[in-house]
Structure 1
Amino acid sequence: MALVSLQQVSLAFGGRPLLDEVNLQLEPGERICLLGRNGEGKSTLLRLLNGEVEADGGEIVRQKGLRCACLEQEVPAELRGTVYQVAAGGPGPVDSLHLEKVLSRLDLPAEQEFGSLSGGLKRRVLLARALAGDPELLLLDEPTNHLDIAAITRMEEILLNFPGALLFVTHDRQLVRRLATRIIELDRGRLTSWPGDYDNYLRRRDERLAAEQSGQAKFDRKLAEEEAWIRQGIKARRTRNQGRVEALRKMRRDRAARREQSGRVKMQIQDGTRSGRLVAEAKELSFTYGAEPVISGLTTTIMRGDKVGIIGPNGVGKSTLLRLLLGQLAPTAGHLRLGVNLEICYFDQQREQLDPARTVADNLAEGRDTVLINGQSRHVLGYLKDFLFTPERARSPVAILSGGEKNRLLLARLFTRPCNVLVMDEPTNDLDVETLELLEELLLDFKGTLLLVSHDRAFLDNVVTSTLVFEGQGRVVEYAGGYQDWLRQRAAAEAAGKNTEPAASTRAGERGNAAPAATGEKERQPAGLSFTEKHELAELPAKLEALEAEQEELSAALAEPDFYRRPAEEITDHQQRLQALQEKLEAAYQRWEELEEKAQAD
């Protein structure tokens, strides 16, 4: 027997219904993922299943005595007391022994005050609160928001072993792949069910949407033909078939009732001027807060075009590392060298750049009517429409926006500024999967440098080329590739009985910066730099910048349409100079790497 059954259920809050005569059955032991775009009504459906709102029509049948618990997307502001008291204060009776086991499995400090916790820890307490009553049906709304990767994987294991039924809303695609036994999608007020895994859902959904578009195009062609027929002259109307007229009227009603899929976010990153090849070079960089090392002895080089992910537990110092690498925070020890022509744009996970009292449009454009996008002036309302803000919503205060809308506004604001270094601190929270995938495509095509803090494992795997990972006591280790690559490299190092140094597999190692791999014999180190070589190394960055600037100037001249109207000798001279510059650059970079390698012995 189903735990909950929805039969022809409808619900609307003015306007078109969020739920339009939907049917759904939740069976014991199922793990169902609910997907849909932001604003489609996913959270409302969870509240309906939890009995917090009533349907406008249809029937909801619940198993008698059903124990149901819900993890909301936002932390309730009124919660007070210790972690234990908050976790024990959920619906239904709580067994103290069971509660203690839940707190232990979620690694929660029972006696600490709830109000003193970070956002991620508060979410874990709320999950403990939901699990404490041993529910038969568990409803989770974006359970991974504000959790670090370690907490997400711990939660995955708990949910995989949860004996009851589970219905969850998430943007975390890896969580969906790991947990879901069935996927349901809420789209334009209708629910569709997709048995099987996430990738099967994607394939079959695309097939359904293609078939829907084809059917609608065929319908619209037929409607256009019938409209042309009805408008024919007097002679044709005398022989008009009344049944055909009625069929046309029905087609008009069907077309008027059609709900188009909500718009797709349109985003583009404005490329700034080209930065120098070197973006940031850190040597033995350290930062200590009080007696505790936050970052200890980090050596890394970030070059133009690198896409670097930063992984670590909540509160470990990821934002501090970003500030150090950007030169916004002075290190306790070590040295940082920044490249030239850096144009930095920063996405802030705390949304502190947004003024909740001002409207969406004012937060974007500071009271102006237009914004400049890739050299073209655009009206604020038109630009915000690309990010799915209606004119009415654009004039609303930021305080009433959902989490997903606030993140879309931050992205809209971020992309009004040209940049060549993009810094994103947890950009994926509250975004729907389709917007996430579009953001991934943009970042992959971005020609500048990306520094990305994220707990979204799939997002890291799809975007970054290397990772900086906090591995305890301030130690930050660099690995090639994304999240899964880090896991494989760390596991291989541990299996080989070594420290978890990435050795030659790291991006830094490929440039000759990594420590040599541990072996039974002491590896021969190159001799240190001579005085002349040290001077040469110090002068090389400026020389490289000058060569690159000249190269760009010549390349720009060659790209001009009128250039090839010049005399043949001048064209040949330019081409030869460009080729010579390329050879000089390659030789200079090779020399730089040689000197950097020798400098490691100093």
Structure 2
Amino acid sequence: MNLVNLESVSHAFGPKPLLTNVSLGLEQGDRIGVVGRNGGGKTTLVSIIAGELKPDGGRVTHNRGLRVGVLSQRDDFAPEAAVRDLVLDGRAEHEWAGDAGIREILANLLGDIDLSSPAGALSGGERRRTALAKLLIGEHDLIILDEPTNHLDIEAIAWLAGHLAQRRSALLVVTHDRWFLDAVSTRTWEVVDGAVERYEGGYAAYVLAKAERARIAQAAEERRQNLMRKEIAWLRRGPPARTSKPKFRINAAEALIANEPPARETVELLGFASARLGKTVFDLEDVTVHAGGPGAGPLVLDHCTFQFGPGDRIGLIGVNGSGKSSVLRLLSGTVGADSGKLVRGRTVRLAHLSQELGELDPTRRVLETVEEIRKYVQVGKKEWSASQLLERLGFRGEAQWKVVGDLSGGERRRLQFLRLIMDEPNVLLLDEPTNDLDIETLTELEDLLDGWPGTLVVVSHDRYFLERVADRCVALLGDGKLSMLPGGVDEYLDRRAAGAALSARAAAASSSSSSSSSAAVPASSGSEGGAGASGGNGPSAKELRELQKELNRLERQIERFGEREAKLHAQMAEAASDFERLATLDGELREIASQKESAELEWMTLAERLES
């Protein structure tokens, strides 16, 4: 069934046309991702489809009775309204508490928020999750999401993607999160130069299809130029010998990347980084850190030992509030450790891109702001001018002469990053560098970082970016350690899920054990030697004690496996440049992980017996 039709729709913002004679349709079951440059018209397009914006020209038709749910980039919550009233929309407690779907949404989006809190007391991220929960609880034929992953951590993004995949609603989503696009969309619309180009598939398929279109266009242009040259030659020399026309074959998508070199020449960059940095970058020795300063706030690191080596490209992962920014501030020297020792290499030249935008002179021009740091910079083997780098990151032509005070938040962030790069650091600490950047700029940023030789530590909820620029992932799992993740983000999500399941089983087993033990006392007093305790189908009091002992033994064993994992992680950090040693340690780590998993499964089995 057709849900929405656009016929010859045009819209402009001031003198700038955003959409020109756009005609398209959205049908039931469509799952569409919308991409394009910032300011290119994505939000305008979805606002017109949602019926929130009337176009300058053309016609928009909605199916009768169409239920549209929209998540915009801003909410209009009344400050005094309670979260419960905003999200549940007057539903009685027995009504929503008895609905498994609503409980799942509340648990995954609002699990850490008091539902009686007023909206005015929420942070920006909490308001975003509240708006998302309110939308998802409702029933809609078409869901339109404008940047839904903003302020969500990796776990919440993964849950949201799975939830949307199960819904029957049509979906239209604008996002710069490329992993999320691939996970939820089956078609892609690119808003470019006033038109909407349509592609089949998610982000990965879109990239391949767009590259193939570009290749075909280039081949056609080359053929046209060849024919023109031949015509000119024929006119000059007379009729030439008969020749066959060139034949072009459309290659499969794999052929586009068959001869593409690796994104980074890792060994070469590592050698250059080692030469510039020396052997020591950051060594953490028995370090303890609290988020709010010595002894204040949540514990982030607890007697942690870890090493960041020359040329390391590390992605730091953790839930919101786990202390990722605190670790970056520790490395940058902004905050100190409660105890332990942080050794910084003498050759370290550090640049730290924090989530807070640094102060920029609002009266200066963009190019002047960058050139005051340096006019030329060496990235890998190539020298770039300030103007060339500005162009790569979206400041083209006259945009380089804009006044800083007129820039958007995303433009200021790009400018701040460029100023850091122009200062030629050899260690980069990046805290959410992808905020407010469009996909095209993200691609340029990734390409720029590919050729940058140095140590990189990046915190980001953009899973695609994290996996693209980092060679290794490290997690803050709440145990006060920096845990290596050989399996990357997937391993992080698996370990978080296993930890949650283990905690739930332990709580259930503990509760069941205490109630069973208290019930067993009177039962044993009425029979000789307690034999009557097993008169039912459940375990006897003696069996319960034996089960509890075995559970305790397994818990100690799992703890020892965890300690062994931590030691292996530290050894892998020390052997960062010895790839053979790394491979051996990785094999040991996988074996320990396998044994730990077996012990955890046995623990769960016994816990179920104890619970029964």
Q: Note whether the superposition's TM-score is higher than 0.5.
A: yes
> What is the TM-score when the length of structure 2 is the normalising length?
0.68
- In structure 2, what is the Cα distance between the partners aligned to 1:339 and 1:35? 42
- Shift of the 443–335 alpha-carbon distance from structure 1 to 2, 3 Å rule, reads same
1:380/1:334 Cα in 2 relative to 1: closer, same or farther (>3 Å)?
closer
| Cα distance in structure 2, aligned partners of 1:149 and 1:363 | 34
1:217 Cα offset (Å): 5.0
In structure 2, stretches of 5+ residues that fail to align are 236-268, 503-553, 577-584, 596-612
CA contact (8 A) 1:359 1:394 kept: yes
Q: Is the 8 A contact 1:462 1:482 kept in 2?
A: no
1:51: which partner in 2? 51
Partner of 1:538: none
2:125 maps to amino acid: G
CA contact (8 A) 2:273 2:310 kept: no
Which letter maps to 1:153?
A
* Secondary structure, aligned partner of 2:198: strand
Tell me, yes or no, if the aligned pair for 1:465 and 1:481 is still in contact at 8 Å.
Answer: no
Q: Which residue of 2 aligns with 1:330?
A: 336
The equivalent residue for 1:498 is 558
Deviation for aligned residue 1:291: 6.0
> Contact conserved, 1:357 with 1:399, CA < 8 A, in 2?
yes
Tell whether 2:460 aligns with 1:454: yes
Partner AA of 2:117 in structure 1? Q
Partner Cα distance (2:442, 2:86) in 1? 32
Structure 1 residues 365-444: aligned runs within 5 Å: 365=371, 371-374=375-378, 384-390=390-396, 392-398=398-404, 400-444=406-450
Match of 2:347 among 332, 341, 350: 341
Say if 2:79 is the partner of 1:80: yes
* Matching residue of 2:247: none
Amino acid at match of 2:193: R
Task: State the distance in 2 between where 1:77 and 1:94 align.
Answer: 18
State the distance in 2 between where 1:360 and 1:189 align: 27
Post-superposition offset of 1:22: 1.6
Change (3 A) 1:384 1:342: same
Decide whether the 8 Å contact of 2:79 with 2:120 is kept in 1.
yes
Cα gap change, 1:383/1:184 in structure 2, threshold over 3 Å: closer, same or farther? closer
Shift of residue 448, structure 1, vs aligned partner:
0.8
RMSD over equivalenced CA pairs, Å:
4.0
SS at match of 1:23: strand
2:325 to 315, 319, 324: 319
Paired residue for 1:13? Answer: 13
- The whole-number CA distance in structure 1 between the counterparts of 2:404 and 2:65 is 41
Instruction: Assess if the C-alpha contact under 8 Å between 2:306 and 2:573 holds in 1.
Output: no
Partner of 1:106: 109
The yes-or-no answer on 1:154 pairing with 2:159 is yes
Distance 1:364 1:399 in 2: 15
CA distance 1:98–1:148, shift in 2 (3 Å):
same
C-alpha contact (below 8 Å) 1:311/1:468 kept by paired residues: yes
- Give the aligned partner of residue 24 of structure 1: 24
Is residue 304 of structure 1 aligned with residue 303 of structure 2? no
Matched AA of 1:447: P
Q: One-letter code of the match for 2:80?
A: G
C-alpha distance in 2 between matches for 1:37 and 1:224: 37
Change (3 A) 1:225 1:13: farther
Question: Corresponding residue for 1:134?
Answer: 139
Distance in 2 of aligned mates of 1:86 and 1:399: 39
CA distance in 1, matches of 2:383, 2:485: 42
TM-score by length of 1: 0.69
Change (3 A) 1:398 1:197: same
Contact kept, 8 Å, 1:478 with 1:508, in 2: the verdict is no
- Identity of aligned pairs, percent? 35
Alignment match of 1:285 (pick from 250, 266, 287): 287
Spell out, residue by residue over 1:208-265, the C-alpha distance to the aligned partner (whole angstroms, 9 max, x if none): 1222233345567789999x99xx9xxxxxxxxxxxxxxxxxxxxxxxxxxxxxxxxx
SS of 2:199's equivalent in the other structure is strand
- How far off its partner does 1:490 sit? 7.7
CA contact (8 A) 1:296 1:476 kept: no
Q: Distance in 2 between matches of 1:400 and 1:72?
A: 24
Give the secondary structure class of the aligned counterpart of 1:147: coil
Count of residues in correspondence between the two structures? 476
Secondary structure of 1:458's aligned partner = helix
- 1:306: Cα distance to partner? 0.8
Within the candidate set 220, 224, 245, 1:215 is matched to 220
Structure in which a larger fraction of residues adopt helix? 2
> Per the alignment, in what secondary structure is the counterpart of residue 13 of structure 2?
coil
Note the 1:32-71 alignment, pairs <5 A: 32-71=32-71
Choose which of 266, 277, 287 in structure 2 pairs with 1:275: 277
Tell me the SS of whatever aligns to 2:126. Answer: helix
1:35-57 CA-partner distances (Å, limit 9, x unpaired): 22333211111121222322222
Change (3 A) 1:103 1:486: closer
The verdict on how the C-alpha distance between 1:59 and 1:507 changes in structure 2, with shifts beyond 3 A counting, is farther
For residues 218 and 494 of structure 2, what CA distance do their matches in structure 1 show?
Answer: 42
Mapping of 1:440-589 within 5 angstroms? 440-480=446-486, 482-487=488-493, 498=558, 502=565, 506=569, 508-509=571-572, 511=574
